[in-house]
Structure formats: structure tokens, C-alpha cells
Structure 1
Amino acid sequence: MTDIPRQYGIADDPTQAFESLRQEISLLQTAIQGLTAAREKIPDYSPTLAAISRQLAAMSEGIARLEQAPAVKLTPSMMVQQLAKAAADARADDKRQLDEARADLHKVIGRMDGLVVRARSTDHQRRRELWMMLGAFLFGILLWSILPGFVARSLPESWHVPQWMAARTLGTEQITPDDQVVDNTQTPEKKD
């Protein structure tokens, strides 16, 4: 048994063993003090870590909002379908607006056509009135040239109206059957 301590380099002397143990404990104490001093020299990272934590939380919320966005959930085929639907809706809206504009244009054209027709009918009416006035004037001239002769022939023959009219028209004297000469160029004198 005495051979075991010598194999492992353990001294037989207890004083020497305690001295060796004291040195090891002293070394261990120095190491622990060094670690404590080193720990005290480490800077405090808690404010920086808190700021990083807040930024990570904000980023997590942003990512969560992005994940909830409808565009992220769309597959390319779904996106194509929605784009096609939006394009069809836009074309339908454009077609509706074009139809409304076309209807308004037709209304305006109809109103303008009505104004043109009204103006033409007014112009036609004025021309017709002018022709009627001209016809009435010519008819009046014709009537005035025929009617006095007709009236003169319808009066009694003893009045000699046709002869009187002929003499007055020619500016000559009228000869009556009684052989009296009557001057038709002068106005008759008034008898008092």
C-alpha cells in the first residue's frame, strides 16, 4: 500500500501534502477572483438587447401583417384570375360609360335634327306664305282687271257704264246716244 502514493507522485509527508493543497486552493481562489473581476468588467448589454427585442417584435408584427395580406396568399394563377376579373370589370365600366355617352350624343343629335326640321319647316312656311302672297297679289290684279268689266256689263244698259269706262281709259270724250258730248277728263263740277 505504501507503493500507491509514490506511483502517483503523492508525498508521504502530511505537511508537504497540506502545503501542496494550500497552493492549489490559493490558485483556485485567484482564478475565481479573476473571473469575478472579469465579470465586473463586462459591459451591460441589457439596453441594447431590449432595443433589439423591440425591433424584432415590430418586425414580427410587420411580417404577420404581410402574411395576412391577400396578395401574399394569392398564387400566380389566382392573381391572373383576379387581374382578368378586374380588367373585365374595367372594360364593362368603360362600355357602360361609352353607352351612356352614345345615348347622350343621340339625344343631342335628335334635338339638333328637330331644330333643323323646325327651321326647315319655318323656312318652307315662309316660302309658301311668300308664294301665297304673290299668288294673291296676281289673283287680285287679275280679279281687278276682270271684275270691273263684269260688274259694268251687269249694270243696266241705260247707264252706259262700259262706254264711260272705255272713254275714261282712253282719255277721250264719251258720246252718248243722245249725242251729248261728255268730257271725262275733267272732274264734274259741284252744283251749289
Structure 2
Amino acid sequence: MDNDASPNNGPGQAFEALRAEVSLLRRGVEGLTAERHSAPDYGPTLEQMNAYLKEITGWARKVNGQPAMQLTPELLAREIARVAADARKRDREIIEHADRRMGTTISRIERIVESASQASEQARAISIACGTALLAGMLMILTLQALAAILQV
């Protein structure tokens, strides 16, 4: 009986392996969250700023190339409004793209957390089943001993 209860055999070893696996999964999830917060990606923002600067430079060249009499306040106001509308449209596209990426990332994290939760529940269920089996075995042994004692009388 003592050999079956040692942690190197059967259920004990399985529990230890499961405990280590759940611990590793938890550290992995925490590492992903910390890594995501510690390493921002400025590439898309810098690319967008570069595109804006190119557009403004082109617009400035266009304005600079026009004679002063042709550049009326109304024409300048229309051009500014057009460029502003284009910039707002690009901003909306960037925000929508970021929203989609954020949703995908959140879904991945939720699946990881759900998997860890399921593993924890499975470990708990296995613990309960093993305890129940141990108790049933002990009761069976006691019953058999009592029956043997009654039959020898």
C-alpha cells in the first residue's frame, strides 16, 4: 500500500507533472502580458508621421509655386479643409486597424487564460476522484477485514 501512495508512482507523479505544467502556463501568460507592455511598437506611428510630413511638404511646394495673386484665402481654406479631411480619414483607418489587432490579441489572451482555468479545474477534479477512490479502498479493506474476522469466529 505504501508504494502506491508515494509521489513517484501513478497519481502522485501525475499531480506533480500537472502542477508544474499549470505553473509554467501561468508564468508564460504573465510573461506575455509584461512583454507586451514593455515593448511598444512605434513603427506604424512613425510611418504615418512621415507620410503626413511628405504630404505637407508637397502642399507647401504647391503653395510656394503659385503666384501670390492666385492664392486667395478661399482657395487656401479649401485646400486646408481637403488636407484635413484626408488626414482624418487616415486616422480613422489607423484606429480601426488598431482596434482589430487589439481584439485579436485579447481573444488570444482569453483563450490562454481559459485553457489555464480548465487545467486547474481538471487538477481539482482528479484530486477529488483520487481522494474518493482512496477512501473507498480503505472502506473496502476494513470491510474485508471485518468479514474475515466474522468468518473466523
If the length of structure 2 is used for normalisation, what is the TM-score? 0.50
RMSD: 2.8
| Equivalent position of 1:146 in the other structure | 143
Q: Which residue pairs with 1:129 in the alignment? A: 126
Shift of 1:99: 1.4
What residue identity is the alignment partner of 1:146?
T
Gaps of 5+ in 1: 1-65, 153-160, 167-192
Q: How does 1:55-134 map to 2 (within 5 A)?
A: 69-70=65-66, 72=68, 73-134=70-131
The residue number in structure 1 matching 2:150 is 162
State the one-letter code of the partner of 1:143: M
Distance 1:147 1:163, change over 3 A: closer
Rounded to whole Å, the distance in 2 between the matches of 1:137 and 1:71 is 96
Q: For 1:104-141, what per-residue CA distance to the aligned partner results, in whole angstroms no more than 9, with x for missing partners?
A: 11111111111111000001111111111111111111
Structure of higher CA gyration radius: 1
Secondary structure, aligned partner of 2:85: helix
SS at match of 1:74: coil
Which 4+ residue blocks in structure 1 deviate beyond 6 angstroms?
none
Alpha carbons of 1:106 and 1:95: their partners in 2 closer, same or farther (altered >3 Å)? same
Distance 1:71 1:163 in 2: 121
Determine which structure has the larger helix proportion and give its number: 2
Cα distance in structure 2, aligned partners of 1:112 and 1:93: 29
Structure with the bigger RCO (C-alpha within 8 Å, sep 6+) is 2
| 1:143 positional shift | 2.2
Query: Cα distance, 1:79 vs. partner?
Result: 1.3
Name the % identity: 26
Opposite residue 131 of structure 2, the aligned amino acid is: L
Decide whether aligned partners of structure 1 residues 71 and 100 sit closer, same or farther in structure 2, where only a CA change above 3 A counts.
Answer: farther
Gaps of 5+ in 2: 1-61
